[in-house]
């Protein structure tokens, strides 16, 4: 039994989305994407290498459901094969937010496993290599490895060695940036993002147009983030989200992750912005929950309005996440070996 490693990772929300793979096995995307790490959505994972004959996986104090366990064990098998490891792993992962409801629990979860195995088995991978590794668990996980504003380069190489995320800007670059998470449903989604993407890429007649528009928007967003231009950041993120959902809605069969409450929150965001002058923008992943981009000074008032919408179950206001931390047990003697600082 090896030493216990504790990893703290955060979910991320893409401002410029990833939706579609060019290689299913290697999780290579059709385009680059850019996300913001969510400090309030934390996954704490404890991982130990063992010499038992099977992996043991617990999520939120329960044995992982069969599909989740299969995905995690496939990922561990990829790691074992790549690095010639024979160990099995004991993994306890807890989210402080609803799992698999479009709040990107897979991103923070797979990032944690990549970081934990690296530490437990002394693989000595650098951040780029860790991001490449996490990508094999879930595409968006490669962005949770770096924290802050994370840019995932699509890359061109067939082996995926140039498809990784790097921290485009640290969390400290924009301390007043906020994301309000409106939890509309804590239920697990019916169509996985993996299946949804495949269907969209294969059948949506507007997919190619979204790719081209989204690539253009990425350049605009990069500049807006550097300049801390909130209006452009929000406009571009909202446009990219709507474009991605349009590709889903026009797939055969059509794919829809929104509920009536999702639409009510989207409408409320527009009203807050246009009628009340509270500047905010929405973005939504492959699930019903809505993330609202805003700034520190207006966040409490916006959160109050969103909380009052019927059907909204929970509202969480988040700052930008720093990079993950990795520590080795025993806790009292542990030396932080994190990739960055924890949020204050």
Q: Which residues bind ligand PMV (CB under 6 A)?
A: 14, 17-19, 33, 106-107, 138-140, 193-194, 285-286
Min separation Cβ 29 and ligand PMV, Å: 8
Min separation Cβ 4 and ligand PMV, Å: 27
Rounded Cα gap, residues 143 and 128, in angstroms: 10
Min separation Cβ 239 and ligand PMV, Å: 15
Beta bridge partners of 326: 7
Cβ closest to ligand PMV, residue 104 vs residue 169: 104
Min separation Cβ 184 and ligand PMV, Å: 15
Min separation Cβ 257 and ligand PMV, Å: 9
DSSP assignment of 295-309 equals ETTTHHHHHHHHHTS
End-to-end CA distance of the chain: 33
Residue 89: which of 119, 67, 127 has the closest Cα? 119
Residue 11: which of 146, 130, 105 has the closest Cα? 105
Min separation Cβ 9 and ligand PMV, Å: 14
Length of the chain: 344
Q: What angle do CA 220, 222, 223 make, to 5 degrees?
A: 70
Cα 222 to chain centroid distance, Å, stands at 18
Cβ closest to ligand PMV, residue 36 vs residue 272: 36
Give the other-Cβ count within 10 Å of 333's Cβ. 7
Cβ closest to ligand PMV, residue 24 vs residue 162: 24
Decide: 106 and 141 in contact? Cβ < 8 Å: yes
Min separation Cβ 142 and ligand PMV, Å: 9
Rounded Cα gap, residues 325 and 91, in angstroms: 16
Cβ closest to ligand PMV, residue 14 vs residue 315: 14
Cβ closest to ligand PMV, residue 211 vs residue 329: 211
Cβ closest to ligand PMV, residue 104 vs residue 299: 104
Min separation Cβ 160 and ligand PMV, Å: 14
Residue 197: which of 73, 10, 13, 28 has the closest Cα? 28
Helix, strand, coil fractions of the chain, as percent rounded to 5: 35, 25, 40
Decide: 5 and 48 in contact? Cβ < 8 Å: yes
Q: Which residue has the tokens 């989210």?
A: 95
Rounded Cα gap, residues 223 and 232, in angstroms: 9
Cβ closest to ligand PMV, residue 112 vs residue 278: 112
Cβ closest to ligand PMV, residue 154 vs residue 339: 154
């Amino acid at each position: 039994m090896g030493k216990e490693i504790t990893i703290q990772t955060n979910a991320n929300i893409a401002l410029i989305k990833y939706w579609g793979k060019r290689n299913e096995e290697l999780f290579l995307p059709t385009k680059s994407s850019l996300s913001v790490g969510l400090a309030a959505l934390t996954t704490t994972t404890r991982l130990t290498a063992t010499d038992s004959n099977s992996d043991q996986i617990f999520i939120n104090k329960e044995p992982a459901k069969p599909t989740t366990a299969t995905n995690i064990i496939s990922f561990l098998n990829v790691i074992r094969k790549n690095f010639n490891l024979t160990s099995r792993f004991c993994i306890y992962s807890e989210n402080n937010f609803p799992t698999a409801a479009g709040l990107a629990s897979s991103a923070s979860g797979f990032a944690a496993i990549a970081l934990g195995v690296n530490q437990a088995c002394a693989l000595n991978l650098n951040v780029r290599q860790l991001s490449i590794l996490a990508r094999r668990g879930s595409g968006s996980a490669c962005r949770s490895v770096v924290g802050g504003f994370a840019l995932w380069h699509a890359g061109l190489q067939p082996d995926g060695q140039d498809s990784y995320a790097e921290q485009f800007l640290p969390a400290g670059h924009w301390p007043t940036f906020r994301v309000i998470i409106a939890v509309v449903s804590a239920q697990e989604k019916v169509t996985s993002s993996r299946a949804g993407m495949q269907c969209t890429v294969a059948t949506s007649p507007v997919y190619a147009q979204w790719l081209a528009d989204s690539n253009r928007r990425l350049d605009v967003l990069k500049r807006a983030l550097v300049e801390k231009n909130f209006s452009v950041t929000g406009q571009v993120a909202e446009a990219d989200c709507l474009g991605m959902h349009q590709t889903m809605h026009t797939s055969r069969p059509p794919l829809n992750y929104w509920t009536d409450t999702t639409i009510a929150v989207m409408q409320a965001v527009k009203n807050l912005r246009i009628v009340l002058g509270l500047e905010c923008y929405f973005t939504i992943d492959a699930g019903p929950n809505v993330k609202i981009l805003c700034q520190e000074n207006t966040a409490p008032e916006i959160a109050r309005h969103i909380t009052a919408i019927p059907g909204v179950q929970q509202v969480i206001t988040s700052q930008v996440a720093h990079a993950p931390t990795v520590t080795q047990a025993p806790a009292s003697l542990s030396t932080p070996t994190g990739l960055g600082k924890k949020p204050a």
